[in-house]
Every structure is written in C-alpha cells, then in structure tokens.
C-alpha cells in the first residue's frame, strides 16, 4: 500500500500535501514525491526514502508557493525504489504530471506503442507509461484531459488510483480509481484528494469515497491564478 494526496483551491497546497503524506505513512512506502504549480510552472521534488527526507530535499531545492499540489508515497512494483522511479511523473511535453498507486499490468505493450510513436522514458515504471498514454490520446484525439484519462484507462488493465493535472489548465485535477482507494474532500471553492480522508479532515467533513470504478475532474469555478 501507499498513498496519494492532492489539493486545489485558495490555500497554500504544500503544507496540506506534505502533512497529508505524513498521515498516510502508516500505509507503508519506499519513496515520496510532490509536485506544485505556482501559477507559472510546475515544481517537482521526489526522493527515495521517507517523507521527512522529501521535506528536507524540498527545503533545499525549491520554493513551496502554489495553490495546486499533488503528493505521493510509493511502494515500488515496477522499477527499483530510487529517485527517478519515484512519483510524480511528467509526460514528455512536460505539461502533464501524474501520481499513481497500483499496477498497470499491460504497460509493456503500451510502452512499445508509445516508443514507436517517438516517446522516451526516463524511469522503469508503469506509471510513466500511463501519463504519456494520456498525453498521446489528448493530442491525437484533441480531447480535454478528463476525456483523455477516461479513454486511456479503457486501454489499461490493472488497478489504480491516479491524480493528474495539466500545467496549461491549472484549474483542475483529474482523478480516477479502480481497486485502490480514493477519497475526495469538497470545500468552498477547493478540493482535497487522498487515499483516505485523514489528510483533509480538519478542512472539510464533506467527503466522498469514489466507487469501485470511477473517474472525475475536480474543476474550480474560478481559478486561483487570475
């Protein structure tokens, strides 16, 4: 097991995501990572080791401003626990960034198809295949991120809870799950996501646990970046 946390809204995302990852440590993990959007660009930091190691690395390497953030604790299934294989993972364009708990069983076939179309991979994970599959579908079929996720997941065999956002449309996080748990907290013009409700319990008691198979896009009525 392992964990997912995310936030989009009017608050600073970093403390919510970092504290959320700490609350999910009981689930077990070998690496941790975080991505923030600061209104201009994505900032990403990830490391093998504990959430405390991530916190230290972030304090040395990046500013923590931003109202959109996703964080992950990884339990490696595809590729050894190391910094590169840790989540979040970028798509090749650098626009999409994704976290994933679970397994993409048919990732080898999907990866081959993407390599044939010119995609390159820096990690050994099944997850990096998924984020690029979503990107390829989004470009090829000229659809929005939510639709691209839906189409991509129809091609995927496996179990997952995912969260992904697009730096070009930073008013939404798209989430999906099959098998792995995922809770959504709904606040006032803000959304929280997490593997269980503990990361956002002090902010809202309006929580939804996604059904067995589902996906949704959490889109703010107003973007915090205007």
Q: How far is the CB of 135 from ligand GLU (least distance, A)?
A: 18
Q: How far is the CB of 104 from ligand GLU (least distance, A)?
A: 7
Q: How far is the CB of 194 from ligand GLU (least distance, A)?
A: 14
Give yes or no for residue 50 binding ligand GLU (CB under 6 A). no
Give yes or no for residue 121 binding ligand GLU (CB under 6 A). no
Nearer to ligand GLU, 101 or 150 (CB): 101
Rounded to a whole number, what is the distance in angstroms from the first to the last CA of the chain? 38
Q: How far apart are CA 18 and CA 5, in angstroms?
A: 8
The continuous run of DSSP H or E covering 175 comes out as strand 172-178
Nearer to ligand GLU, 12 or 25 (CB): 25
Q: How far apart are CA 128 and CA 142, in angstroms?
A: 21
Residue 131, burial from CB neighbour count under 10 angstroms (0-12, 13-18, 19+): buried
Q: Are 123 and 89 in contact (CB under 8 A)?
A: yes
Of the ranges 47-55, 76-84, 181-189, 198-206, which one interacts with ligand GLU (CB under 6 A)? 76-84
Among 21, 20, 1, which Cα is nearest to 75's? Answer: 1
Nearer to ligand GLU, 103 or 207 (CB): 103
Q: How far is the CB of 214 from ligand GLU (least distance, A)?
A: 18
Of the ranges 37-45, 71-79, 181-189, 199-207, which one interacts with ligand GLU (CB under 6 A)? 71-79
Give yes or no for residue 100 binding ligand GLU (CB under 6 A). yes
Q: What angle do CA 133, 138, 139 make, to 5 degrees?
A: 100
Q: How far apart are CA 88 and CA 71, in angstroms?
A: 7
In DSSP terms, 219 is beta-bridged to 172
Nearer to ligand GLU, 180 or 216 (CB): 180
Site string for ligand GLU, 122-161 (x = CB under 6 A): ---xxx----------------------------------
Using CB under 6 A as the criterion, which residues of the chain lie in contact with ligand GLU when the complex forms? 2, 74-79, 85, 100-103, 125-127
């Amino acid at each position: 097991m392992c964990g997912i946390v995310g936030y989009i809204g009017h608050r600073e995302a970093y403390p919510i995501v970092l504290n959320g990852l700490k609350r999910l440590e009981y689930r077990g993990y070998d690496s941790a990572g975080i991505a923030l959007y600061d209104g201009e660009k994505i900032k990403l930091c990830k490391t093998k080791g504990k959430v405390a190691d991530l916190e230290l690395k972030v304090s040395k390497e990046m500013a923590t401003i931003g109202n959109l953030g996703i964080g992950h604790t990884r339990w490696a299934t595809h590729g050894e626990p190391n910094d590169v294989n840790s989540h979040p993972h970028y798509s090749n364009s650098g626009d999409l960034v994704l976290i994933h708990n679970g397994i993409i069983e048919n990732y080898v076939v999907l990866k081959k198809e993407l390599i044939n179309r010119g995609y390159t991979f820096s990690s050994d994970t099944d997850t990096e295949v998924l984020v690029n599959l979503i990107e390829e579908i989004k470009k090829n079929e000229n659809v929005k991120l939510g639709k691209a996720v839906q189409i991509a997941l129809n091609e995927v065999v496996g179990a997952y809870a995912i969260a992904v956002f697009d730096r070009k449309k930073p008013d939404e996080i798209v989430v999906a799950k099959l098998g792995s748990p995922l809770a959504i907290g709904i606040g006032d013009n803000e959304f929280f996501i997490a593997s269980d409700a503990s990361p956002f319990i002090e902010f809202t008691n309006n929580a939804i646990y996604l059904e067995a198979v589902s996906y949704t896009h959490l889109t703010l009525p107003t973007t915090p970046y205007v």
